Amino acid sequence: MAEKIISIPSFIEPVRIDQVGIEERAARFTKRSIKNETKLNGLLLALNMIDLTTLEGKDTEGKVKQMCYKAAHLHDAYPGLPTVAAVCVYPSMVATAKKAVEGTGIKVASVSTAFPSGQAPRNIKISDTKFAVAQGADEIDMVISRGKFLEGEYNFVFDEIAAIKEACGNARLKVILETGELVTYDKVRRASDIAMYAGADFIKTSTGKINPAATMPVTLVMLNAIKDFYYKTGKMIGMKPAGGISKSKLALHYLVMLNETLGEDWMNNHWFRFGASSLANDVLMQLMKAKTGVYQSKDYFSVD
């Protein structure tokens, strides 16, 4: 069966990014003063925005169940804590995760489309996605074909995202750009626009397998793309910086940037996520410090 071809709308024009300007603006968000009460609320919000993740070849059902237990029982360390937003696993582990978080309100996300490389035929990527959805995935995190994108095959990338969106059914689609491989801010902006117009519900920086992963300037470029898309279409798109965000202080800087760029409507886990499992432990340590006055050792918190 021939692949359905959908051309990129002619109004998606390349946008040039001022590198110096975007980096200076991103740096200014790290200098905002945050009061203690605001910091505490920010930490709770950041925790509720995390996609707790295990994406290793050595993943087992036991490892996934352990991660899901942690996701659902953060309040054991600190009563009243929110849960994380979602757990993210490979398609083969979706059914295990779905059962483990049943009744908690935690979403189950699954990577697909030959994650992390994206190097597979489209029919395999579609099958991968449909399998994950059939197993119960609420969200799909797909990777774009970076090789095709870098060759200028923008229609190919657009068509593929549209095909995966169709395969998602009712599951929300997060499109991973792998910004560390796109190199320039102009390319990041171009990929962001293609993804959104092709049907992405979220755009996401990275797989976490490539360095550099998420950075504040790259995320700001993507947030600005979301803002422009919203002004043109009236449609909200979510954002997920992933990889390299392991400290609470940095997460708070991201939330300041989110609020000042997109506003209050995006300040919840329906529209913003952190792909940063190690961040959860640091947030828990900071919250316990706020509660008890002393830091607990990181050994008090499970790694996964």
Instruction: State how far the Cα of 45 lies from the Cα of 29, in Å rounded to an integer.
Output: 18
Dihedral pair phi/psi, residue 87, rounded to 5°: -110, 145
Dihedral pair phi/psi, residue 205, rounded to 5°: -70, -50
201 as an active site residue: the answer is no
Full DSSP string of 71-89: HH-GGGTSTTPPPPSEEEE
Residue 203, H or E segment: strand 202-204
Instruction: Answer for the pair 142, 164: CB distance below 8 angstroms, yes or no.
Output: yes
Return the DSSP state at 275. B
Instruction: State how far the Cα of 259 lies from the Cα of 291, in Å rounded to an integer.
Output: 26
240 as an active site residue: the answer is yes
Residue 195, H or E segment: helix 185-198
Q: Is the peptide bond before 241 cis (omega within 30 degrees of 0)?
A: no
Of these residues, 98, 201, 240, 282, which one is catalytic? 240
Of these residues, 51, 70, 128, 141, which one is catalytic? 141
Comparing CA positions, the residue from 270, 196, 273 lying closest to residue 242 is 273
**Residues contacting residue 223 through CB under 8 Å, at least 6 positions apart:** 239, 257, 258, 261, 262
* Paired strand residues for 240: 204
204 as an active site residue: the answer is yes
Instruction: State how far the Cα of 278 lies from the Cα of 254, in Å rounded to an integer.
Output: 16
Catalytic positions: 141, 204, 240
